[in-house]
Structure 1
């Protein structure tokens, strides 16, 4: 059995490790990160050319099942995967880590896009910790606030006019996030609801410091596609298909 994992996430890498040696595994990475952590099994890097290209690749390489383990905000590839799986007549599973949930003491402002996040900053603070990744920073380019922009790789222009770039990769510690907020005098945090533990300490640090958090809600999973919340669940799904 040949399983194609659309990866690039910690969950996708863990899933490849769970399946490797049991079934043939190919992980596909988008290639947007300069030095990705490679999973077990076969790896390909780069796009497919839309849903038609993905469906053609699935057929050409005798793929029996596809698991979409991309980032929760990789909306386009998720919908391309749904269309491609239907075209190629192979089963599809989405692997998504659960989203974050506010707890007592959180001061969350939930929005639907980065553009809404930029608009939501009015009156919240003057020094922003922006952790939404390297894409989409143009939404904040005309904002008057000062931004600390954290990203794995250097983002493309335009950047916020008043900003400092911090290149770093999680997992992050609570003590580290506390120190970062204090050192840069952060008074508002902007993040996407990526979920998971690797970058969650910033939420705890913000809660402790009474810093408001602008949270961009994640897009929906394509309708009708089953969802697993852990690599173990996804591995069990694939093994059941393999018999």
Structure 2
């Protein structure tokens, strides 16, 4: 039997955990998942786990060389733009094959009242004209962008407690998906929400809020994804990623 092939997954998403579980079960592979460390108690995947940054593209390239990585899979959140560009640069420098796993974005349907925003700043600027009681689901890292909106009330949902600066009128809800339509419907009703703000993260785990917003007839401000690195091969899920790896590493079942 040949030497183990080392796979590095840039993780932190449901897809990354599923992929790590599938690859860890395959013979001849050593799987390492790298987590950014922004969540205090992350859900850990199968295989080896490292937590923390690499120190930019040069640091990642050095790690790829030192750890003899055979393939790099970027399965980070669609809004984790910096690490995706770092991965593309490092993979090109070290000549390691790179795949980006990108879940499809959400698409508005009949009855949806969606308002497009190119950034959190654009989303904040749009809010005063859309409502007064905001359900903010964009995460704790960008909360400062909304801190000046003292005329609005915010229900802020995040995995970990946010830090200031923050809107002066807000309630924090610490929770982690997946969420159900019934629960989202009740949140909107109980807090009298009249506008929702979300990032186009895609996937089903957090899509229930969109259905609940449609049913309630409230507008949704949807922040567009940042641009992806050009020329990187993409897959829409773990199954496609496994097939890609089998082909590129000549694994059994290719």
Aligned partner of 2:86 in structure 1 is 80
| Equivalent residue in structure 2 for 1:238, among 234, 240, 245 | 245
Partner of 2:176: 169
Within the alignment, does 1:62 sit opposite 2:71 as a pair? no
Q: Distance in 2 between matches of 1:112 and 1:88?
A: 33
Q: Is 2:128–2:152's contact at 8 Å kept on the other side of the alignment?
A: no
Corresponding position of 1:194: 201
Task: Supply the distance in 1 between the matched residues of 2:53 and 2:142 (Cα, whole angstroms).
Answer: 19
1:126 is the counterpart of 2:132: yes
Whole-angstrom CA distance in 2 between matches of 1:197 and 1:76: 24
Q: CA deviation at 1:235?
A: 1.1
Q: Give the Cα–Cα distance (whole angstroms) in 2 for the partners of residues 126 and 111 of structure 1.
A: 18
**What root-mean-square deviation, in Å, do the aligned CA atoms of Structure 1 and Structure 2 show?**
0.7
d(CA) in 1 for partners of 2:49 and 2:243? 21
Counterparts of 1:226 and 1:112, CA distance in 2: 24
What's the TM-score once normalised by structure 1's chain length? 0.99
Among 2, 7, 12, the alignment partner of 1:8 is: 12
SS of structure 1 residue aligned to 2:173? strand
Deviation per CA, 1:136-186: give whole Å up to 9, x if none: 111100012100000000112111111110000000010000000000000
Q: How does 1:1-243 map to 2 (within 5 A)?
A: 1-22=5-26, 23-143=29-149, 144-243=151-250
In structure 1, the residue corresponding to 2:49 is in which secondary structure? strand
Which runs of 5 or more structure 1 residues have no equivalent in the other structure?
none
- Tell me the number of residue pairs that the alignment of Structure 1 and Structure 2 aligns: 243
Q: Give structure 1 regions of 4+ aligned residues with deviation exceeding 2 angstroms.
A: none
Structure 2 residue runs of 5 or longer lacking an equivalent are none
